[in-house]
Structure 1
Amino acid sequence: MSFQTLVVDHPLVAHKLTALRDQDTDSPTFRRLTDELVTLLAYEATREVRVSPHEIITPVTATTGVKLVSPKPLVVPILRAGLGMLDGMMRLLPTSEVGFLGMARDEETLEAVTYAERLPDRLTGRQCYVLDPMLATGGTLAAAIRFLTDRGADHITCICLLAAPEGCARVEADLADLDVPVTVVTAAMDERLNDKGYIVPGLGDAGDRLYGVVG
């Protein structure tokens, strides 16, 4: 597998991420900042989106531009926290299609469990953009990528607010047998995981901070 990690080095990205990390940032502000940050990350993440030449006529003359090719890119938020990233992504790719993948981390084993999916049966030739706020242990993201490639996806870009070195290493190791390019685009590569599998310094539980604690 071709695997690479892109940490977006930009002052606005760092500024918004700092506010997201702050424990005093309330949920409405956290949601707005997540939306804005994802749009910035998506700009970098879509540099390799597939396009083809497209002839148009401007008010002055004929010229050649580009348009997105078919099949359209597929955006896949991982429920539930990935939903908080969807609007920011769709702002940049409004004509893309959206699928949903419900995956949760078992807090005992730290393994990913799939509990829901709404995706095309065949993803042959599709570029997929996976939205997951935290690349922590890497189990959920690795399982999601394999789920998509098993259906034929041939190009995967993952957008994460934060990543941990251990998670990136696991994704690369778990998917070493795949012949599919995988890129992780993130706002920061943090120091490490703690003994509970949370990113340090991190920003806490992204789902809880986006939507509140659901009992």
Structure 2
Amino acid sequence: MNAIIPKKRRDGKSSFEDLVSYVSVRDDLEDEELQALSSVQSELSHRSRFSRLVDYATRLRDESFVSLVDVMKDGCEWVNFYGVTCFHNCTSLETAAEEMEYTARQARYAKDDTDPVFHYILSWQAHESPRPEQIYDSVRHTLKALGLSEHQYVSAVHTDTDNLHVHVAVNRVHPDTGYLNCLSWSQEKLSRACRELELKHGFAP
């Protein structure tokens, strides 16, 4: 099991534009293409950026194709969105982007150019087909490891590659306190969480 954090700008600055470009266009973009796209994406409002990220994660098409599968014990929803398995803790999947944007605007002690959205991917080996409940547990476990268990998130399971994987888009701003998670040592925390999940569920490294 692997955790992937899509890279951001080389200069280390907040790069929500690069993140949206990376996830909303295609997965095989070269670095030069990402840099070029970032200048275009900078014209987008925060709301449209959130929307495009959530749209990619859910492969949004038509609201009539949303069906509630289950409500998890912690209140999060498991929904089927046009054949895509999604988990989220927002009021609804359709309003998730707007909710995240509203929360991001309430951020305390955050610079204007701070990227409020964190995106990561959990991927399994090609021979593995974890159950939805196991994928959900993996998402929640990694969010907790990052200190983001109470933050708004949308996750979506994709099967468009040889490796089943789940995209997780989470708001770094806490919905109640307004504080922004600095996400220090995030890759290390995710890697450790993956090892714990491998032991718990028997996933391959």
Greater CA radius of gyration, 1 or 2? 1
Identify the structure with the greater helix proportion: 2
By the TM > 0.5 criterion, same fold? no
User: TM-score under structure 1 normalisation?
Assistant: 0.29
Identify the structure with the greater strand proportion: 1
